[in-house]
Amino acid sequence: MRRVHNFSAGPAILPEPVLAQAQAEMLDWEGAGVSVMEMSHRGREFGQIITEAEADLRTLLAIPSGYKVLFLQGGATLQFSMVPLNLMARGGPPDYVITGEWSAKAAREAARFGVRHIAAATPPDNHTCVPAQSDWQLHDDAAYVHYCSNETVHGVEYHWIPETGNVPLVADMSSHLLAAPLDVSRFGLIYAGAQKNIGPAGLVIVIMRDELLGGAGPGCPELLDYQIHAQAHSMRNTPATWSIYIAGLVFKWLLAQGGLGAMDALNDKKAALLYGAIDRSSLYRNPVAVADRSRMNVPFILRKEGLDELFLSGAEERGLTQLRGHRSVGGMRASIYNAMPMAGVQALVDYLGEFESRHG
Ligand SMILES: *Cc1c(COP(=O)(O)O)cnc(C)c1O
């Protein structure tokens, strides 16, 4: 067996102890005589799995009472539709802030449901910073404000929480939820697809303030109505049982690591190591404003033409995989989520130096 250092943006690396536990429990989950994939979502065993997953997530993020946790499907992309479908009627046109591909897609989808305002945006060919909040044009009567707190493609991250007064703040946190402690009380609604920093694909987690439930219009399909999911405890229909189980194991692993404070410190160290190597080199370059750099997704380019394929094949040979940048921006991207150990980042940094000394 060979395990590589997997820098994929998503579906992405999972903690090895979680995979080992899933393997050990694959044929017989805690004496049930079946795998989690084979058990009824309405049975006692799965009831325990989803209840513990929610409780552990609440502990990790210190989610205040008055917030629902939903385990849904359709990815973060379906949230681009569910958010306007459920929240748009609360007020005037919602405000969207665009800082990269994902927030642009969310804004595009919202336009299908009616008018929305673009409160601030970085240029489509230059998503390399976060616009200061003083430059946002927010509307006091907006139904909500939507932004993407970590742009997975461009490696741009907000290291601050926008202030929106009484207007609910909605965040797509798909690629960095659980990377650090978070003040959930500042948000009306948070969503995150699991396959980046949480667990397997097929699951999206929604954390939302109770008072935002019940805002879907009469034409809203029931599976797109947060209220119906909340009333049914995420079991209106069959949930993504396996993905919820694995995410639950990841939550327990995070707690055993010391929780999100410990992850935060480790993520700082990993990012500092990698950005330090990029910034010191004359071959590699990260285009993002230093204050807005993502600690999870680290894009970089090679300043010399024609070396990309050589770089990638050399990396593959050393077991450093999935480093090709997103097709829309090119270059390289290393995603270093919670599950990426320091040793993986160090192996990449060693390779960066080695490659530069030969080809730089
Ligand atoms: C990956 C990603 C999405 C889309 O997720 P799907 O699960 O493919 O729908 C949306 N937003 C962000 C920030 C992402 O990283």
Q: Taking a C-beta distance cutoff of 8 angstroms, is the pair 83, 189 a contact?
A: yes
How do the domains of the chain map onto residue ranges?
17-256, 259-359
Q: Which two tokens stand for residue 308?
A: 């990309």
Asked whether the predicted pLDDT for residue 327 surpasses 90, the reply is no
Q: How many CB atoms lie within 10 A of CB 346?
A: 15
Q: Taking a C-beta distance cutoff of 8 angstroms, is the pair 216, 227 a contact?
A: yes
Asked whether the predicted pLDDT for residue 285 surpasses 90, the reply is yes
Predicted local confidence at residue 217, as pLDDT: 87
What's the CA gap between 360 and 356, in Å, rounded?
A: 4
Q: How many CB atoms lie within 10 A of CB 209?
A: 18
Atom 8 of ligand 1, residue of closest alpha carbon: 75
Q: Which two tokens stand for residue 309?
A: 């394929």
Q: Which of 56, 68, 95, 102 is catalytic?
A: 102
* Alpha-carbon torsion angle 12, 13, 17, 20, nearest 10: 70
Asked whether the predicted pLDDT for residue 328 surpasses 90, the reply is no
Mean local confidence (pLDDT), 86-102: 97
Query: Is 102 part of the annotated catalytic residue set?
Result: yes
Q: What angle, rounded to 10 degrees, do the helices at 44-61 and 259-280 form?
A: 60
Q: Name the band, by pLDDT with cuts 50, 70 and 90, for residue 104.
A: very high
Atom 7 of ligand 1, residue of closest alpha carbon: 75
Query: Is 196 part of the annotated catalytic residue set?
Result: yes
Atom 5 of ligand 1, residue of closest alpha carbon: 76
Predicted local confidence at residue 224, as pLDDT: 98
H helix intervals, the chain: 16-24, 44-61, 75-87, 101-111, 226-231, 241-256, 259-280, 308-317, 342-359
Structurally, what CATH architecture does the domain formed by 259-359 represent?
A: Alpha-Beta Complex (3.90)
What's the CA gap between 165 and 143, in Å, rounded?
A: 12
DSSP one-letter string for 166-209: TSPEEEE-TTTTTSS---GGG-SEEEEETTTTTS-TT-EEEEEE
Asked whether the predicted pLDDT for residue 180 surpasses 90, the reply is yes
Q: Ligand 1 pocket, 176 CB below 6 A?
A: no
Mean local confidence (pLDDT), 88-110: 98
Tell me the per-residue pLDDT of 32-91, one tens digit each, with 9 for 90 and over.
999 999 999 999 999 999 999 999 999 999 999 999 999 999 999 999 999 999 999 999
Tell me the per-residue pLDDT of 120-155, one tens digit each, with 9 for 90 and over.
999 999 999 999 999 999 999 999 999 999 999 999
Asked whether the predicted pLDDT for residue 173 surpasses 90, the reply is yes
| Residue 330 vs residue 42, higher pLDDT | 42
Q: For residue 193, give the ligand 1 atom closest to its CA.
A: 7
Q: How many CB atoms lie within 10 A of CB 253?
A: 18
Q: Ligand 1 pocket, 77 CB below 6 A?
A: yes
Q: Check if CATH label 3.40.50.12280 holds for domain 17-256.
A: no
Tell me the per-residue pLDDT of 10-27, one tens digit each, with 9 for 90 and over.
999 999 999 999 999 999
Q: How many CB atoms lie within 10 A of CB 310?
A: 13
Q: Name the band, by pLDDT with cuts 50, 70 and 90, for residue 329.
A: confident
Asked whether the predicted pLDDT for residue 203 surpasses 90, the reply is yes
Tell me the per-residue pLDDT of 244-258, one tens digit each, with 9 for 90 and over.
999 999 999 999 999
Q: Ligand 1 pocket, 148 CB below 6 A?
A: yes
Q: Which of 56, 95, 172, 225 is catalytic?
A: 172
Half-sphere exposure of 323 (CA within 13 A, CB side): 27
**Ligand 1 mean position to 305 CA, how many Å?**
30
